[in-house]
A and B are shown apart, each in its own frame.
Chain A
Amino acid sequence: MKSQFNRRDFNKLTAAAMGGLVTGSLATGASAADKPKHDPKLLLKEPHVCRGLNVCKSKGADKKNACAGMGACATAEKHECHTHNKCKGQGGCGDYPGQNACKEQGECAVPLGKKAWAKARKSFEAEMKKAGKKVGPAPKK
């Protein structure tokens, strides 16, 4: 490839690229003219809605169990942010907060063993089997 083109060829290719730039800038100019002015409503879609916990609207306590009333167990309502992310309310204390599952060894156990990759492998193998795909040997420990 190196010797395929000479200096004159490269000048022609540069000119082709410049032609593209002009064409693209004309398209941009046209679309900019059509573009509506800044829409303040876009601010309502800002991304930090998911991140700042205090922005996520609390549902308040459900008054049924030990986890309730903390705010932390009452999670944000589902809503879009980042235009795609869902702030998922997962409940602070596992699937059964009403059963006082919030113990150190329970659903939201702290600490948890560092075996996530091993579990991920198992889960991956199951997925691949379901899809009828072969799986190579597991990575070394």
Chain B
Amino acid sequence: MTAEQKLSVVQRWMQAVITNPEGIVDGVASEVAQQEIALDSTTIESFILPSKNCSSIERLSVYGNAYFARLIECLAGEFPTLEHALGEELFGDFALTYLQDYPSTSYTLGNLANHFVNFLVKSRPPRDAEEEPQWPDFLIDLSRIESIYSVIFDGPGEENFELISAVDLQQIPTEKWGGIRFNFADSYRLELFDFPVHEYVTAVRKEESPEVPSPQKTWLAISRRDFIVRRQSLSQLQFNLLKALVEGATLSESIEQSLQAVAHGETAEFDEIATNLQSWFANWTAAGWFHSLQCE
């Protein structure tokens, strides 16, 4: 075996040992490490020499601990508001447990947090379906919105796309208006939360100290434009209308479905609805939510 081969064996062994989520002792005993270099607690000191103050295991632990500390640091970068809500130490507990359950396996740290929201959902203390959302749901909502912001930020944007022009719209015959279907911006997401977490996130970014909010159904449209992730709070009617459009319903179908979905017994003046629709579509178009239109 050449010196280079020997080095690569030691590197692979070291990686297996220090990245083992159960710690250094388990890492040394792991199958992956044993396949590279077969050592146990009695023989390890002949391979990794102890120092004056630290045993071999303790010396390796420095690297193992640092490995996990850096990953926790990355997770904290992905979920700064959740870390704020939990506190650094407690966030670290959640993050470390997560890393034990979902060890980093990707070449990029961009994938490190892929399962974090799901991890929180799965590990959440149980709750009866009828109960109103509680603090664990707040934490899960926070992790969700931060994850969504990251995904949208990293994902495709509309920065280089032409938006719908008035000239294009004017070419659509009146009788075809109702049959128009909308293609939304790639980054566009409609999300429902149990808490107004978007406001909490904004307050934390402004370095305020917001209180944990009370549960409140929160409908949001989240998208990216000009390299900035933007969110807009919606009413339930707006959410239903946009959801129908996102799902491929025509303009007239979406209007009809969303108005029907509004709570029974609620009445609204025709003129008021018409004015609202005009104003909403003006704002949504100006916001760049609609990528293009399809006519039947």
Hey, which bits of chain A sit against chain B, CB under 8 A? 1-2, 4-5, 9-29, 31-32, 35, 38, 42, 45, 47-48, 50-53, 66-67, 70, 72-73, 75, 81-93, 100, 102-104, 106-112, 114-117, 119-121, 123-124, 127-128, 131, 133, 136, 138-141
Contacts and interface: CB of A to CB of B under 8 A. Distances in A.
B193 interface: no
B39 interface: no
B110 interface: yes
A132 to B, nearest CB: 10
Nearest to A126: B87
A112 B72 CA distance: 13
Which residue of A24, A51, A84 has the most chain B CB atoms within 10 A of its CB atom?
A24
B285 A51 contact: no
Interface residues of B, number: 105
A84 B80 contact: yes
Contacts of A90: 69, 72-73, 76, 88
A61 to B, nearest CB: 12
A20 B283 CA distance: 8
Contacts of B164: 21, 25, 28
Interface stretch (B4-12, B40-48, B54-62, B183-191): B54-62
Contacts of B87: 123
Chain B binding surface SS class: helix
A15 B169 CA distance: 12
A93 B125 contact: no
B72 A104 contact: no
Given A22-B170, A82-B153, A114-B97, A28 B274 contact: no
A88 B82 CA distance: 14
A127 B212 contact: yes
Contacts of A66: 51, 53-54, 59, 62
Contact of B93 (A72, A82, A116): A116
A87 B109 contact: no
- In the complex, which of the residues A18, A51, A87, A110 has the most CB atoms of chain B within 10 Å of its own CB atom? A110
Contacts of A51: 74, 77-78, 108-110, 112
Contacts of B168: 25
A47 B252 contact: no
Contacts of B54: 66, 100
Contact of B108 (A52, A116, A124): A52
Given A66-B62, A72-B70, A111-B22, A14 B77 contact: no
Contact of B277 (A17, A32, A127): A17
A62 to B, nearest CB: 14
Contacts of B275: 16
7 contacts: A1-B268, A16-B274, A23-B286, A38-B160, A45-B227, A121-B135, A139-B127
